[in-house]
Amino acid sequence: MNTNPQKIGPFTVIPLTPDSARSLATGPHGLEKVTRGQKTEGHQHSFVSFYVAIELVLTSDTVTHIIPQHSLVIVPEEVEHSWQPVSEEGFVGSVDTRHEQQVLMLA
């Protein structure tokens, strides 16, 4: 498995193994489930944010970015982003304790 960081749109994405993705420490909300037909509300931060993403696609400014199945995603500050599952369900977890719980909405 190639674990070299990749630049995908404005994001830096580091592929992870399934075990490492599930074992990385996430903030107070843990790994949050996003199911088919849902997406997280688009949002941005005043800080660089780090996410564990499992089985998700990443959207920014109406562009959908395909990312590895299990990833650590670095989102620059002030970059709008949203998460949507690839299939039945996916999981997203912020590594930062300043991050609020994801707001889910219909896709």
List, for residues 47-103, the tens digit of each pLDDT value. Answer: 999 999 999 999 998 899 999 999 999 999 999 999 999 999 999 999 988 888 898
Cα 20 to chain centroid distance, Å, stands at 15
In the numeric block, the tokens 């688009």 are attached to 42
Which amino acid is present at 56? L
Which residues are paired to 30 by β-bridges?
none
Q: State residue 61's pLDDT score.
A: 86
Residue-range domains of the chain with CATH: 6-106 (2.60.120)
Question: Whole-angstrom Cα distance, residue 45 to residue 4?
Answer: 25
Which residues are paired to 43 by β-bridges?
81
**With contact defined as beta carbons under 8 Å apart, do 92 and 51 qualify?**
yes
Reported pTM = 0.93
Q: Other C-beta atoms within 10 Å of 49: how many?
A: 21
Question: Whole-angstrom Cα distance, residue 60 to residue 21?
Answer: 22
